[in-house]
Amino acid sequence: MSNQSLKAFRAAFLDFVADPFYQPEAESVRYIPDGLMVLENGKVKELGTYDALKERYPDIPVMAYPGQLIMPGFIDTHIHFPQTGMIAAYGEQLLEWLSQYVFPTERKFKDKAYAQEVASVFLDELLKNGTTTALVFAAVFPESAEAFFEAADRRNLRMIAGKVMMDRNAPDFLVDTPESSYQDTRALIEKWHKKGRLLYAVTPRFAPTSSQEQLRLAGKLLQEYPDVYLHTHISENPNEVAWVKELFPECNGYLDTYDQAGLVKERSVFAHGIHLTDAEFQRLSEAQAAIAFCPTSNLFLGSGLFKIEQAKSVEYPVKVGLGTDVGAGTSFSLLQTANEAYKVAQLRRQKLSPFQALFLATLGGAKALCLEETIGNFDPGKEADFIVLDRRSTPLMAFRNPDPIPESLEELADQAFSLIIMGDDRAVKATYIMGELAYDRG
Ligand SMILES: [Zn+2]
């Protein structure tokens, strides 16, 4: 084979080969202080120490990032692209926040040109923050999903998205019908699912804004297209949970409103899950469904503290990824999201180690999205979406984290923790998509 399709990166490498919630960190963390990652056609061919690999690839171009840390791109398992411009909306909790801020904002996304403009800003922001894959809500209008998919496709990004389905308890200008949502979603799946790197998620906003008939048709879509996703919200706020009880008296709790429609399965991702019952955690575990833990949003809207230790229990393990949930979330940065996840755990007298948090942001997110065969770490054959992290991106971080790069896992854990607590978009020096530079901090 000619070496022309090969290239390599030299830096320190950090990724995960197992789940540090269940395996010792020495077995789940892969750390190579002076590593070489060889890529072929945008995919990982080999990762090893520089010394071991340099002689086997004498002639290939090597991009070196001395003193920097290369990690897999971050994975955001729950975010709303139409809410990019209304981040940081003051004063309300979930239901009032939706009607006061979100619904008027999402109305604008019927205009495709506007949706295109916001999709572009949104994707720039993701890449700048080191996020290379996200599970994304569009608005109710098919045009909004079209605009997003077009923008993501142009950048060759692995993105999952869907048009919102909502047929009640929302303003007239924002509702579809069960039949129109079914037909529109079907057309979008046919057009975009598996086009390039794109994937589709059937996306009812949440149980209160969907009739039973609409949820039933969402389930029908999942049957007709077994490898599309289901993406929605669950048990975020106590008033919301009480409202769902009123709206669905025949259901046995919030999750059951989805379960009765056939929406609880592998490839189903439920954002929040703060007020889930033990039985609901157990059901999610059995169904191999996932939860998107969105700490900045949960704190911002005063929704509550997610029970990470229950989701990651040995008896009923539930797949968990991190979600920014912008615009209720307050940052596009998965580092800042991990920061708040750590504090949520602290308030519950739990610990979230830096490696556990970074696992959630990478391989854990990939597992939550059933994409662990494709992205999430640097195993051979994975798509080479990765980021270059700067441990010394501000004067204070440079003071705290002296050169050179740590040799030991213990020292690395300490510096990785500082990246989580102090780092943000400034800590992302570069973002690569399929081995190609997509963002450079300069
Ligand atoms: Zn959300």
Kindly report the CATH number assigned to the domain that includes residue 213: 3.20.20.140
If one counts the domains in the chain, the total is 2
Single out the residue in 352, 368, 384 at which a domain terminates. Answer: 368
The rounded Å distance from CA 271 to ligand 1 centre is 6
Query: Do 132 and 12 sit in the same domain of this protein?
Result: no
What's the pLDDT at 1? 47
Q: Is 346 in the same domain as 211?
A: yes
353 CA distance to ligand 1 centroid (A)? 25
Q: Are residues 361 and 292 in the same domain?
A: yes
Rounded to the nearest angstrom, the gap between the alpha carbon of residue 181 and the centroid of all alpha carbons in its chain is 25
Q: Helix axis angle, 354-361 relative to 409-422, nearest 10°?
A: 60
Q: Distance from the CA of 137 to the center of ligand 1, in angstroms?
A: 8
344 in the same domain as 286: yes
C-alpha closest to that of 362 among 28, 50, 121: 28
Instruction: Please give the distance, rounded to the nearest whole angstrom, from the Cα atom of residue 297 to the centre of ligand 1.
Output: 8
- DSSP symbols for 377-405: S--TTSB--EEEE-TT-SHHHHHHS-SS-
Strands (E), 18-165: 29-40, 43-49, 62-72, 74-80, 131-137, 160-162, 164-165
The CATH number linked to 416 is 2.30.40.10
| Ligand 1 midpoint to CA 79 (Å) | 6
11 and 33 housed in the same domain: yes
**CA-atom Rg of the chain in angstroms:** 21
Q: What is the pLDDT along the chain (442 residues), one digit of tens a residue?
A: 445 689 999 999 999 999 999 999 999 999 999 999 999 999 999 999 999 999 999 999 999 999 999 999 999 999 999 999 999 999 999 999 999 999 999 999 999 999 999 999 999 999 999 999 999 999 999 999 999 999 999 999 999 999 999 999 999 999 999 999 999 999 999 999 999 999 999 999 999 999 999 999 999 999 999 999 999 999 999 999 999 999 999 999 999 999 999 999 999 999 999 999 999 999 999 999 999 999 999 999 999 999 999 999 999 999 999 999 999 999 999 999 999 999 999 999 999 999 999 999 999 999 999 999 999 999 999 999 999 999 999 999 999 999 899 999 999 999 999 999 999 999 999 999 999 999 999 8
Q: Which amino acid, 342? A: Y
291 and 427 housed in the same domain: no
User: What is the pLDDT at residue 4?
Assistant: 64
Which pLDDT does position 114 carry in this prediction? 98
Looking at 368, 392, 422, the residue that finishes a domain is 368
Task: Compute the distance from residue 333 Cα to the ligand 1 centre, in Å.
Answer: 16
Domain boundary (350, 368, 386) is at 368
Torsion-angle region of 199 (φ positive above 0: left; ψ -120 to 50: alpha; else: beta)? beta
pLDDT for position 5: 87
Beta pairing partners, 137: 80, 162
CA distance 11 to 310: 36
What is the Cα–Cα distance from 68 to 34, expressed in whole angstroms? 10
Q: Are 65 and 164 found together in one domain?
A: no
Same-domain check for residues 193 and 271: yes
Three-class DSSP category at 364: helix
What is the model's pLDDT at position 391? 97
> What's the pLDDT score for residue 24?
97
Q: Are residues 57 and 175 in the same domain?
A: no
Distance (Å) from CA 43 to ligand 1 centroid? 32
Q: Measured between alpha carbons, how far is 89 from 68 in angstroms, rounded to an integer? A: 36
Residues spanned by the domain of 388: 3-72+376-440
Q: Is residue 353 located within the same domain as residue 396?
A: no
Claim to verify: residue 21 and residue 140 sit in the same structural domain:
no
Question: What distance in Å separates the CA atoms of residue 334 and residue 324, rounded to the nearest whole number?
Answer: 7
Q: How far is the centre of ligand 1, averaged over its atoms, from the C-alpha of 206 (Å)?
A: 9
Distance 390 CA to ligand 1 centre (A): 29
User: Are both 260 and 348 inside the same structural domain?
Assistant: yes
CA of 253 to the centre of ligand 1 (A): 20
- Other Cβ atoms within 10 Å of 125 Cβ, number: 17
Q: Say how many C-beta atoms besides its own lie within 10 A of residue 46's C-beta.
A: 17
